[in-house]
Chain A
Amino acid sequence: MIKRLLALALVALPAVASAQSVPTTATVLAVVTPTITDMNFGDITPNVAQTVTADAANAAGKSAGIIALTFNSSTATVKIPASVTLNRTGGGSMSATLSCGSAATVGGAVTSQTAAACAAGVSFSYNGDATKLATGALYIGGSIAATESQFARAGIYNGSIVATITNPAN
């Protein structure tokens, strides 16, 4: 008896297909958002120098200014002027030299910066955490020399500074 084996050949025919690549693109805009806390020299005694340190360690009644940043770019840079003039309504003024320190977050460890760095711009870097915006905090301190208040009239003195905040496109 002769057995014949029939071999079935299965032929897989690939589907006729062509593939075409199409690019998809977008650009996420760079955003930096500042939150400002005012600086306060507190009570000043005439002819006595007054200093606010650029950190969170000031005595009661005095406080550093804070520029807190959130941003989504690789860096954000804050630049402040070297001095500010405080004016009294009705007349009188005092000049204060400014200083600064930087921290990764408000309340974080503060690194003191040189006056040159404050004027040139202190940079904060992206934190590498894709789930959170990057943060940075610039603490602003200042000093008022004794001679500035020697003949100062009593009252409230106010001043303002323009801080320049920049960040790159990515």
Chain B
Amino acid sequence: MLSFPAVARGQLATPLQGLSFGSLIAGVSDHVTLQDAPRRAEITLSPGSTNATVGVRFIVPSSMVQSATGAQLPLAFGAGDGGIYDPNTGKLTVFDPQAGTTVRLKNKPMTIYLAGTANPAAAQRAGPYSATVTLLITNPAQ
């Protein structure tokens, strides 16, 4: 008989807002911080099972792309660009978004933040750019 460790079932990640750099000037880098509420990415993590532990990690792109031309705009994500806000304690815990961290779910939904830096080149082509960040939620107890 095989037995499987308990898993956190039913946790639901819901994006509230994407990472939005807004208007950029060619040649001028822009860092969106974890405290930048209008521009940081926010994802709500609703607990399916209170006290379950899950791993959260971001898969981040190295650049955004302009769909019309294929032009790329470099992105960078530092070790302090991930954050988890716990409304149960009112604390923001910083983590490396690419390395990930673990979270013990509680009865109130937590919010995961993502910050980052856009590094447009001096000759960066004007216009809109976009990319997709992926949030992975795993159960590291297994």
Q: Which residues of A contact B (CB under 8 A)?
A: 11, 13, 15-31, 72-74, 126, 129-133, 167-170
Contacts and interface: CB of A to CB of B under 8 A. Distances in A.
A16 B26 contact: no
Looking at chain A's contact residues, the main secondary structure is loop
A24 B18 contact: yes
Interface centre among B72, B114, B129 (most CB of A within 10 A): B129
A22 B15 contact: yes
A167 B13 CA distance: 42
A59 B135 CA distance: 67
B132 A16 contact: no
Interface residues of B, number: 52
Interface in B54-69: 61, 64, 66, 68
A28 B13 contact: no
A95 B9 CA distance: 83
Given A19-B136, A20-B43, A126-B125, 10 more contacts: A15-B138, A16-B8, A20-B15, A21-B134, A23-B18, A25-B64, A25-B129, A29-B23, A130-B123, A169-B126
Contact of B116 (A21, A24, A133, A169): A24
B122 A24 contact: no
A14 to B, nearest CB: 10
A28 B137 CA distance: 32
Interface in B88-142: 114, 116, 118, 120-139, 142
Contacts of A30: 126-127
9 contacts: A20-B13, A21-B133, A23-B18, A23-B131, A24-B75, A25-B128, A26-B128, A28-B126, A133-B122
Looking at chain B's contact residues, the main secondary structure is strand
A132 B122 CA distance: 8
Nearest to A167: B126
A24 B126 contact: no
A13 B142 contact: yes
A25 B66 CA distance: 10
Given A28-B124, A131-B121, A17 B138 contact: yes
Contact of A22 (B4, B25, B133): B133
Contacts of B64: 24-26
Given A16-B7, A31-B26, A23 B132 contact: yes
Q: Return the 6 tightest CB-CB contacts between A and B, nearest first.
A: A170-B127, A23-B18, A26-B21, A30-B126, A20-B13, A24-B19
